Amino acid sequence: MKKALAMSLATCLLATSMVGCGGKNDATTQKPVEGTTEGSSTGDKVELRISWWGGDDRHTATLEAIKKFEELHPNITVKSEYGGWDGHAEKINTQMAGGTATDVIQINYDWLSRLSKDGKGFYDLESLSDTLSLENYGDTELAFGRREGILNAIPVSTTGRSAYYNKTTFDKFGAEIPKTWEDLLASAEKFSEEGYYPFDLDNGSGFTTWYLATVYMQQKTGRNFINEDGTLGFTVEDIKEGLDFYKELENKGVVRSVEARANEAGNTALYQTPSWIDGKVAGVLEWSSSIGKYEAVLKEKGQELVLGELPMLADAKMTGWFMKPSLMFAINKDTKHPKEAAMLLEFLLNDPEAAVILGTSRGIPSSKAAKEALQAAGQLDGIAFEGTKQIESSNPTLISPFMENAKMKEIYAAAIEQVSYNLGTTDEIAAQMHADLTKQLASLTK
């Protein structure tokens, strides 16, 4: 019943936007493109390919939206290529290098600096503005997708990592949800059963662990981990203190060691592990755009996931918490069908009916038209929405595109592993990490 009502509302919105006014400034108007006629079979037959990564919720919703697009445009067939995150970046790298990438490509924020250094790695989307409703986005949002002044990609949503907690497990032990850094460090004291932890940093990858340590140190020092020009903003001492903070969390039983995490499930995603599903790991630092899959598996077990507060130092010199585009869509610079590719992108990003179908499977939409459709359909609620609002209202730091670079992540992971296994002092590990980060950033920015 709820979905039927949502679809009805979206249909009404679509009808209103198409009848009410026909000008370019109507953000919800879907524009016909050259060679096609909306809702008819006229025009040449066109086949498009689109690729994305995600969980089952995203796959199901996207396939449903694409099916609707094909119904509206019978002359266009869309082939979908999708899967999980693991290995996806490598697949796109290979396709881009070999000239076999799809027409429409879901990309990560940091890929632009690697795949489009000169701004010409993807199609110039402003040249397709007759089809794409770019007025749905603010200048700051579009700036995320620019390289050398050229609009390479459009952010589907913005996101940041927040702390989410399994309230069912916390209630089991009579423990309070942490509000401060001190609360987080003390949170394991009431977890009296062996094998239970109040938080998880998925520290096998190193990135989430270092992300939290970076937020803590940015608040403490007022320095950005990576400066706007791509140079390292942290000193060796800053990095040492960040590593010490992580080790304290581990020593106090707040999080598992790298070895314990690896022994349980190797590289399996946390939300798919027994420790998460059974509530033995009761907290996670996760992107608001991705928290749905963590919540869904707990709901199946009758457990409740809630949004926690963003810990802040009392004398914080900056808020330190990050915001970034959760993911973006770009068009292949070599596509043979740029207008039709833009039409598909316009539908997925800005069409009210598509917005309701897709929901928040890619986070809270940046598009004004899509957001209005979801609000009218009563879909803008829940912890994903709350997490997005929380980050947006925290005066966040805009994450450097280099922070999530694969080589940078390898450096974080190596340092976290060394600290966890006690393979050196944090002074020694920090000095090496600082040198490695400095060298890698110099390579990325040259």
pTM score, two decimals?
Answer: 0.76
- List phi, psi (to 5°) of 234: -85, 145
Question: Residue 406 has what pLDDT?
Answer: 87
Question: Residue 40 has what pLDDT?
Answer: 34
Cα–Cα distance for residue pair 64/70, rounded to 1 Å: 10
Question: Residue 110 has what pLDDT?
Answer: 86
Question: Residue 240 has what pLDDT?
Answer: 98
Tens place of pLDDT for every residue, the chain, 446 residues?
434 444 444 444 433 333 333 333 333 333 333 333 343 334 689 999 999 999 898 999 999 999 999 999 999 999 999 999 889 999 999 999 999 999 999 999 989 988 998 999 999 999 999 999 999 998 878 988 999 999 999 999 988 999 999 999 999 999 999 999 999 999 999 999 999 999 999 756 789 999 999 999 999 999 999 998 899 999 999 999 999 999 999 999 999 999 999 998 888 889 999 999 999 999 999 998 889 899 999 999 999 999 999 999 999 999 999 999 989 999 999 999 999 999 999 999 999 999 999 998 888 899 999 999 999 999 898 898 899 999 989 999 989 989 988 899 999 999 999 999 999 999 999 999 999 999 999 999 88
Domains and CATH numbers, the chain: 2-158+325-392 (3.40.190.10), 161-320+405-445 (3.40.190.10)
Cα–Cα distance for residue pair 32/24, rounded to 1 Å: 12
